[in-house]
Structure 1
Amino acid sequence: MKTAFITGITGQDGSYLAELLLAKGYEVHGLLRRSSSFSTGRLDHLYVDPHEADEKGVRLFLHYGDLTDSSRLVTLLSRIRPDEVYHLGAQSHVRVSFDEPEFTGDTTGLGTIRLLEAIRMIGLDTRFYQASSSEMFGATPPPQDESTPFHPRSPYGAAKVYGYWAARNYREAYGMYAVNGILFNHESPRRGETFVTRKIARAAARIATGLEQHLYLGNLDAVRDWGFAPEYVEGMWRMLQADAPSDYVLATGTAYTVGDFVRLCFDHAGLDWTDHVRFDERYLRPSEVDALIGDATKARDVLGWTPRTYTPELARVMVDAELVAIEGPTATVTPLPVLGFERPALAS
């Protein structure tokens, strides 16, 4: 049985990755920040009653800790000694990073170096995945691949560039198996409610059911490459199964504006979006990223990874999940795409 350690396990990607690894027979350990409210809702369906566990027993364990606490990271990694480390934890909201640049740099940037240094100090023979981001490309024109220069346009993007080069440096300096997964936007019903795709899908469902009247957004012209999160975490896992460490872009190679996503969601809910969407300048960033469109040729050729879900279907799935949350299982929904593992739960 392999053992994996996941930072950011309570987030969208962390929960799907935990689900995937458990299905593959892993023992999974996750880093959980202490807070006054519960943050494990995306993992509830994965818990096993110790009295009802199969012959493999309980295989999901959560540990309190923080990416700003080096000593705790050393303690946990020394005890768990994972075969694979998936570093997904971060302050990951781009707009918020302008309001909290220092905190973003400390967690998203320095958190990566703390984790890498803990692995090096302990002498762990582990494989390390760094969650890099398409936001690192920023102002660099698309299409963007592994050789495209970085030009971040936010504190979040800058912090991710630091983490990217930290992973590269530890691979080159210490022979560590460290990879960067440069993932373009990937969404799902488990996306946080403050992220634009979930915000749009949720508003479309709530307006359609009479719970709200308007949706307030900023820049509708930003172009993004949106995929389906469960497929992207499968790509993360494939990166750590390769014979040699390298860096990979995961993307669909398709381009849609935020306005396109609005239209797709509202059309599926039977609404005219122009009747309900309002502009609010508070949601504009001080510096915008105009277009992110990825080229995942390397991942296809080396890892055999290809996306199976594209933006129109993604929008329908996300709106349907919101309708189920409001109306219950009687809501009429679009079937989710066929995946290589179990249908993802519609946890929020």
Structure 2
Amino acid sequence: MDTSDTSGQLEEALERLHASGPERLGRLSNHAPMVVEALAAHGQADAVHRWIDRYRAKLEDFPDRTAPVTAANWPSALGDPRRAADWIDHFSRALAQQPWQSVLAEWWPRLLPGLYGGATHPVIRVGHAVRSLESGENQPRLAELAHALGYWAAVHHTVSGVALLPGAATAAESLDGVPAIPEGLRGFSTRLAAVRQLPLWAGDVADPDIARERLTELVAAATHRYASHGHGEETMLVHAATAPNAVLRTLSSLPRQLWAPSLHAAWTASAAVTAMYTPAEPVDYTPPARLTAEEVVERALAHGDEHVIKFTDTALDVGDDRALVAAQRAIELSVPLA
């Protein structure tokens, strides 16, 4: 994977996208900044503007500002989606004054409990922004981190009152043991509120290096599982893998004492998404043909769906044949971008 694109295409795309808000229709995330970073990371920077042209009907103007977020009033602004522009401004100022790693380290533990906000898209957007900054720092990439953190702060949403069940030894077995919520519930928030029980997995992990190992295991397990369970909800179930992978991508830019809490939050989010959308029965999926990583990327780009591209990006991070099969399954199940 090439994460050192120097063509300027990613920067031009981000500058173009920063005139848009983080959501549309008040509830659907703007996926474009995440997708263009993923494409650039996999050698497809030349395609980013063409992809944006296909996606632009899903973009809305940047939202209005209300009042500045400050060191004194930020707790009252946390989780207020009307303050998205104010939060983006706040992080833009912070990143102009401090190294981005310092800003990330300060705000990560404040934002992590609200991982569920925006259906986990904000933390995924942060993960993409961090990866781009780790490969090369410049102003458009810093601005993207400000937009990602600002979006997360604006839609910050916590979950409490979930009973813990005994977990299994592995992430895969624990995901299999997640109780499904009742059928017929509609909407992410409604379904999330119905999650009342989740297995406890890796709850005793405190060592940072073990936390990274367990998080890597979780991302692989959730990615592999999509091949047999993605038909439960082809779009939303990708987040069981992409959300923890965003956390995993961010670890190396965070203080080590934050790695174990990050694992625990990522597991809970992945398990919750699994509970919300898992199908009644798995299927034994066999792809029509075995594709190389490069072929899967090309097919995902041709398909165009934002979740397909981001899930393929995570599958390539996992890097094994089962992950590539899962990416093919996402392409097969999902509706192509018009």
Give the TM-score category using the shorter length. under 0.3
Specify which structure has the higher proportion of helix.
2
TM-score by length of 2: 0.24
TM-score by length of 1: 0.24
Rg bigger for which structure?
1
